[in-house]
Amino acid sequence: MKSYSTIIFDLDGVIIDQSIGITESVKYALLKFGIEEKNNDTLLSFIGPNLKSSFMRVYGFDEKKAMEAVGYYRETYKLKGIYEFKVYEGIASMLSTLSKEGKKLFVATTKPKAFAETVLKHANIDSYFNFIHGDTMSYDVTKAKMIKMILDTLENNDFSNVVMVGDRDSDIYAAKENKIDSIGVTYGFGTVDELRRANATMIVNSVSELKERLR
């Protein structure tokens, strides 16, 4: 089994479950446009992908309207939704073990960097990470670009010991674009079929299994 020395984690659906905070914030934004969304699966589809693109993809908003929706989303998210999350059981212990073993740990998330830092600090697990990469408030940095930024900080160009851990196909595709391995987790918000179609290097079903693979 391959050993990884540098591990890049997605945030939502891998480290934390913030489904309530995110979906309630999306509901709030939609109500500003007279849209009352009751389909929970539709709301859950906003977890993981870029928020602006999700408003455009799901509701057909143009870019200007989508950014207006993002603004409404942030109104409630930064006050309430950002604190409505739970860390998946076993994550803190796994991060502690990996850190003690000398592995370099990073976060790459479509959540704005400031929000990601607040969440991880509130969860008291921010100290395990070498760096936290997030999007800008304009949503103009892709997951693939974040991974590239991380790879550029490494000492050599051998990325065979680098892996991206994510729960959505967008995480897997971003890893493939940078020619690194990927681990898809099924305990988040993506599906097994989604991860298989994206051709994840491997798929795990629990935090304990993820820990075993990463060690």
* Residue among 10, 12, 135, 169 flagged as catalytic: 10
Domain ranges of the chain: 6-17+87-214, 19-83
* pLDDT given at position 137: 81
Alpha-carbon gap, residue 213 to 215, rounded angstroms: 6
Q: What is the mean pLDDT of the chain?
A: 95
Domains 6-17+87-214 and 19-83 share a fold: no
Give the closest residue to 134 by CA, choosing from 116, 152, 154.
116
pLDDT at 1 over 80: no
Q: What is the CATH number of domain 19-83?
A: 1.10.150.240
Residues 6 or more apart in contact with residue 193 via CB below 8 angstroms: none
Neighbour tally for 153: CB within 10 Å: 11
- Evaluate whether 61 touches 50 at the Cβ level (below 8 Å): no
* pLDDT given at position 52: 93
- Evaluate whether 177 touches 168 at the Cβ level (below 8 Å): no
Neighbour tally for 112: CB within 10 Å: 21
What's the pLDDT tens digit per position in 74-103?
999 999 999 999 999 999 999 999 999 999
DSSP code string of 121-151 = HHTT-GGG-SEEEEE-TT----HHHHHHHHH
Q: What is the CATH number of domain 6-17+87-214?
A: 3.40.50.1000
What's the pLDDT tens digit per position in 120-133?
999 999 999 999 99
Report the pLDDT averaged over residues 5-23: 97
* pLDDT given at position 92: 98
| R_g of the chain, CA atoms, integer Å | 17
Q: What is the pTM of this model?
A: 0.91
Specify whether 193 is catalytic: no
